[in-house]
Amino acid sequence: MKKIIANLTTLATAMVFAFAALAQTKLTIGTVNNSDMVRMQGLVDDFKSKNPGIELVWVTLEENVLRQRVTMDIATKGGQFDVMTIGTYEVPIWSKKGWLVPLAFDAAYDVDDILPAIRSGLTLDGKLYAAPFYGESSMIMYRKDLVAGVNMKMPQQPTWGQVYEIAKAIHEQDNGTYGICLRGKAGWGENGAFITTLSNAFGARWFDEKWKPQFNQPEWRHALSFYVDLMNKYGPPGASSNGFNENLALFNSGKCGMWIDATVAASFVTNPKESKVHDKVDFAQAPCAVTCRGSNWLWAWSLAIPAGSQQSDAAMKFISWATSKAYLELVASKEGWANVPPGTRTSLYKNPQYLNAAPFAQMTLNSINSADPVTGTLKPKPYVGVQFAAIPEFQGLGTSVGQQFSAALTGKVTVQQALENAQRIADRVMRKGGYY
């Protein structure tokens, strides 16, 4: 018996070493399945030829699953990933905890070229903790043919009132086209993000300076009633299960007159291969109401290295490659300028070839530049983030609250009831988290 155990132990140890030996040249990269990342996976030959000896292993997962996996792994120091793709929400929290390696780039990388709004969200105490792969804000995408068809005009930055009128006018004009498509699927990164920007425009905020939830305030009631009313009258059926993707599919098949969502969608809706309406789309900045502050969000999918990674040098090389100016040119040479990952570098928005190929470039840049995560609401707030609050509790809280919003949208509960529930949920979470 003892001998067997001894043998087994030797075997196990041998296997552990074997795995460790394999891992030395292997870089495991956890990433989301968005098309810019998928495109990158097709272009890694360039990286490999420049960095022989580094093998890249991709773990491509759907956003929610990826977030669970990497959070679980970094919090338990599981060491499964050498490079993680994380968002603007995670970076401030994780860097404060010392879970990420500060990134130091050489001069050729030109850190100062990164858009200031994006960069500030990834920086703590003057150190950059994640390099943006692509950045986005939110804006209006609309069918110029339909809007012109009813003799209306979309302003550069309309108010929600104007958006309402336009939605009303173009709704059901063209057979089966709905006035407006907005996110309704529950989730802090789905309807949570969108409705937060909408309510920001109405002057609302998640928490006051003392971290008290604010859903019992009139601003929230106005915002949510407006949203529910607009969607019930001029939105598509099934709006409560529509997230980014579902709306994209609807818009591309010509079912939406207007859509307010991420700026990255612009390159999809203008792509003739994917969109039936690619030549009929125009753009405007996200609508304001009582204020324009916080009316459009800010997000960047960024690459970061978990602290304690055994391969941080190789990881650093990879991140420098994937977020460099040269990478943008590589994508442009293979797939055309319209398909380069947007929203990270100032130089891209000065590049005439890009501006030429991407009719949405200027609007994207304006939107990103106008977003401010720190002072993003009309009334002062204690948290960082436009469409989220960068506190660990927010993922769970934002999703539960998003559930209430989506229930209000389906009419299962009234707006009043949904907000009361949201207030109660938020109060519980904040109390449990020890905020007050």
Site for another protein in 348-367 (CB under 8 A): none
Task: Give the integer Cα–Cα distance in Å for 256 and 170.
Answer: 9
Does 25 engage in binding with another protein (CB under 8 A)?
A: no
Which residue from 103, 108, 101 is spatially nearest to 119, judged by alpha carbons?
Answer: 103
> Site for another protein (CB under 8 A): how many residues?
80
The least CB distance from residue 116 to another protein, in Å, is 26
Answer for which of 43, 111, 307, 407 binds another protein (CB under 8 A) is 407
Of the ranges 65-73, 107-115, 302-310, 353-361, which one interacts with another protein (CB under 8 A)?
65-73
Task: Give the integer Cα–Cα distance in Å for 363 and 4.
Answer: 69
Does 88 engage in binding with another protein (CB under 8 A)?
A: no
The least CB distance from residue 151 to another protein, in Å, is 28
Answer for which of 6, 8, 14, 65 binds another protein (CB under 8 A) is 65
Token pair recorded at residue 236: 């598509």
Task: Give the integer Cα–Cα distance in Å for 237 and 408.
Answer: 14
Site for another protein in 365-394 (CB under 8 A): 392-393
Dihedral of the alpha carbons of 12, 13, 18, 20, in degrees to the nearest 10: 120
Residue type, 258: M
Q: Is 77 left (phi over 0), alpha (psi -120 to 50) or beta?
A: left
Site for another protein in 286-325 (CB under 8 A): none
The least CB distance from residue 169 to another protein, in Å, is 21
Beta-carbon count within 10 A of 199 CB:
28
Does 96 engage in binding with another protein (CB under 8 A)?
A: no
Site for another protein in 254-283 (CB under 8 A): 255, 264-265, 268, 274, 276
Task: Give the integer Cα–Cα distance in Å for 72 and 86.
Answer: 13
The least CB distance from residue 153 to another protein, in Å, is 28
Contact present, 242 and 122 (Cβ < 8 Å)? no
Binding mask 190-229 for another protein (x = CB under 8 A): ----------------------------------------
Q: What is the bridge-based pairing of β-strands 127-128 and 26-32?
A: unpaired
The least CB distance from residue 319 to another protein, in Å, is 18
